[in-house]
Structure 1
Amino acid sequence: ISRSYALRMRGSGVYSDVGTDQLTQVYGGYSAELIPGFDRVKQAVDNTRGEVILYNGQIVEAYYHASAGGHTENSENIWSAALPYLRAVPSPYDQYAIRYPYQSGGWPANTYDWAKKITRSQLASIIMDWNSRRLKDGRVNEIIDIGSLEGIEISRLDANGKETASQRVTELKFIGTTGKKSFYRDNIRSILGLKSTLFDIEFDSKITVLDGNASKVSFNSLKDLKAIDGSGALDYVNPDSDDCFVIGKESTRNIARSFDSLTIKGRGHGHGIGLSQWGAQGMAAEKGANYKEIIRHYYTGVDIKRVY
C-alpha cells in the first residue's frame, strides 16, 4: 500500500510528492528497526518487492488512515474526486484497537471511540483563534462572522441528497444572530480539531430537530422557533417568558434556554478513505486474512501485480 502511494504521488507536486521529512513519513532510524517484531515489517517489504495496487492498469491513490470507526467512506464525501476504487466498505475489525493495552493518552483505543467536550467560552476562543489565523493568512472567505452563536447544524447528506454510507458528517453549520457559516467534508475536522467526521454533537441543554433531509439541528436558543400550543395553534416561541417542554413516551422534560458546553462523540481517526490500519490489523489477527484479501476488501475492484 505504501509503495503504491509513493509511486503514484511521485513527481505530482510539492504538496503531493513523498519526501524524506515528517510531512509524509516518520522513520525512527536504525534503532527503530531493532524493536522486537520489526523484522516482520522488513520481511513484508521483501516478500512483496515490486508489487503495487492497480485499477484499470494504473497505480491507485492508495490512501489509508488509522481507524475508520467501523465503516470507510466514499472519496467524494471526504474530499471531492469520486474514485471508483475508494468506495465505502464495512470495517468491523476497527474495534481490535480496544483490545490493546492503553498507552499514552488512551491510545490506541481512542482511535476507535472518542469524545471531546467544549465549553461555551472555549468554543468562542476557538472561533476567535480561527478567525485570527485566517485573517493573517489572507483567507477572509473562511472567517466565521455570525454574531453570537445560537446553534450548530450537522448534515450527513452526499451530493445526491442521500445519507453517507458511514454516517459521516458532510456539513457543519454555525448559526448565529447575524448569519451562518458552513464547513464541508474533511475541512470540518480542522475547525474543531476532531479526529474524524464520524460524530454526533450533544449540548448540555439543547433542542434537537431531525428534519426531512436527515439533518440534525441543535439549538441553545428558542429564538425563531415555532411551537404548537395547548389549543393546537402554531406560534413563535417567546424565549424570554415561554416555558417549553418535550413530551416523550414516559416523561416530560423542560427545554432549557442556554447551554454551557457541548460534547462531540465520535468514532475513528483520520479521513476515513481507503484502508483502515486498525481494521486491517484486526482482519489479519481475528479473521486470518492475508494481505491480498485485506487490500481487495478496502480497495474496490483492484488488482495486485508485480511491476519490477
Structure 2
Amino acid sequence: MKKPFIFILLLSLSLVIVSVIGSLVFYGDSGTTTVKNKITKKITKDTTYEKVDEESPTINVYKVSENKIEKMDIEEYLYGVLSSEMPSTFDVEALKAQAISARTYVMYKMENNIRSGHKNATVCTNSAHCQAYTSYEGLKKVKGEGWTKSDYVKVKKAVDDTKGQIITYDNKAILPLYFSTSSGKTENSKDVFSTQYPYLVSVNSPYEEQSPKYSTTYSIKKSKFIKYIKNIYPHINISLDELDKQVSVVNRTEGGCVKTVEVGNVKISGTDMRKILNLNSANFTINYNNDEMNFTVKGYGHGVGMSQWGAEGMAKKGYKYYDILFHYFKGSDIKDMY
C-alpha cells in the first residue's frame, strides 16, 4: 500500500461518521433519553396497554351529600372523578395518567376490602376521604352546558382510551396517591404518612413552574401565631419579643419539606405546622417583618406520589401517560383489567 497513513486516516473518519449516523438513527427511534433534572423518557413506538376487552364492573358509590349509595359503572364514575380532580384544560396525556390513578384507587380499595366510612360502598364522594366526584348533571350546572359539549368530551375520551388500565406493583394495585403541585421534588411516603411504600419514593418533578400554587406567601401576626400554637400546645414556652429566635427549622425531608420545626421548648412536625396554619404544603421558609411572620411556601398538597401539575408539565414536554406514571410511581407497571 503506497500511502498507509492516508488510508488509516480515511478509515478512521469513516468509522466515526458511521457511528454517529448509527447513533442518531437508533436513538431517534428507541432507547432512553435523559433530560434535565434527571427525568428519563423512554421513547417507544406504538406502545399500548389496552389488551383486554370485557365489560367494566359496577361499583357501589356512597354519595355523601345525598346520604345514599348508588350503583355505577366504574368507568362512568371515573368521568365524574376526572372532571373534578384535574383541570380539563390539561393535556390529554396528563388526563389519562390521572384517569388511571383514579381507577387504580378504586381497585386498591376493592382488593384490600377497605370500606370504612363508606356505609359498605366501594368509595365515597368526599374528596377528603376518597376522591372528588361530580355527576354529569352537576357538572352541567356548575360548568355550563358548553363545557359538557367540549371539555367533558375530552375528559370522557381520556377515561375511555385507558379503559380498565390500573397501576400495579408486584401484580397488585398500588395506593396511587396524587396531589396538586410539588416544589421540584416529591416526598417519600414514610416522611409524610409514616409508612414506606416501595413505589412512593422521592423523585424529581421539574416542570411545574406554571402552577399557580408553585410558590405562595402566607403572612400572620406574631401574636396570632402564638395563639394558634398555644391552642395546641398550652404549655409551650414562647414569647412575642423573642419569637424570631425561638422558631427554627431543625431538618428537612429528601423532598424538601420541613420535617421538624422547633418552637420554644417544643418540636413540631412540618406536617402538623402545615395543618395548624393551613399552609399549602409543608415546604416552607420563615422570615420576620416587624410584628409579622412571613411563610414562603412551595407546592400544594402532601407531596407524595404523582404531582398533577408535574404530570401536565411532562405531557407538555412530549411524555406519554405511561412515562408519567412510571416516573412518579417507581417500579410500577400498567395492567389492563377489563
TM-score range (shorter-chain normalised) is 0.5 to 0.7
Aligned equivalent of 1:135: none
User: 1:13 Cα shift?
Assistant: 4.4
What residue is the counterpart of 1:270 in the other structure? 301
The number of residue pairs the alignment matches comes to 219
Provide the rounded CA distance (Å) in 2 between the counterparts of 1:298 and 1:153.
31
How far apart are residue 121 of structure 1 and its match? 1.8
1:53 is matched with which residue? Answer: 167
Which amino acid letter does the alignment assign opposite residue 113 of structure 1? Answer: S
Q: What are the superposed Cα offsets for residues 45-85 of structure 1, whole Å, 9 maximum, x if unpaired? A: 11111111011111111000000121111111111111110
**Hey, what does 1:154 align to over in structure 2?**
249
* Paired residue secondary structure (1:188): helix
- Aligned to 1:45, what secondary structure does the other structure show? helix
CA distance, structure 1, for counterparts of residue 284 and residue 126 of structure 2? 32
C-alpha spacing 1:125/1:146, structure 2 compared with 1 (3 Å): closer
- Following TM superposition, where does structure 1 have runs of at least 4 consecutive aligned residues deviating by more than 6 angstroms? none
- Matched with 1:183 is 268
Question: Structure 2: where are the runs of 5+ without partners?
Answer: 1-100
**What CA RMSD, in Å, does the superposition of the two structures yield over aligned residues?**
2.0
Mark the CA change 1:304 to 1:88 in structure 2 (over 3 Å): closer, same or farther: same
Corresponding residue number in structure 2 for 1:19: 124
Alignment check: 8 A CA contact 2:238 2:263 kept: no
1:125 to 212, 227, 230: 227
Scaled by the length of structure 1, what TM-score is found?
0.66
- SS of 1:95's equivalent in the other structure is coil
Classify 1:93/1:27 alpha carbon distance in 2 versus 1 (closer, same or farther; 3 Å).
same
Q: Which has the larger radius of gyration?
A: 2
Corresponding position of 1:103: none
8 Å CA contact retained: 1:87, 1:300 = yes
TM-score normalised by the chain length of structure 2: 0.60
Deviation of 1:307 after TM superposition, in Å, equals 1.6
2:106 alignment counterpart? 6
Encode CA deviations 1:207-235: one digit per residue, 9 max, x unaligned.
xxxxxxxxxxxxxxxxxxxxxxxxxxxxx
* Alignment partners' CA distance in 2, 1:49 and 1:22: 23
* 253, 268, 280: which one aligns with 1:195: 280
Per the TM alignment, residue 120 of structure 1 is displaced from its structure 2 partner at its CA by 1.2
Match of 1:169 in 2: 258
Residue 297 of structure 1 deviates from its aligned partner by 0.8
Q: Secondary structure at the match of 2:208?
A: helix
Cα distance, 1:156–1:202 mapped onto 2, change above 3 Å:
same
Q: Which has the higher helix share?
A: 2
Q: Does the alignment pair 1:112 with 2:143? A: no
Change (3 A) 1:63 1:124: same
Shift of the 275–15 alpha-carbon distance from structure 1 to 2, 3 Å rule, reads farther
1:295 equivalent to 2:330? Answer no
CA distance in 1 between counterparts of 2:133 and 2:190 reads 31
Q: In 1, are the aligned partners of 2:167 and 2:332 still within 8 Å (CA)?
A: yes
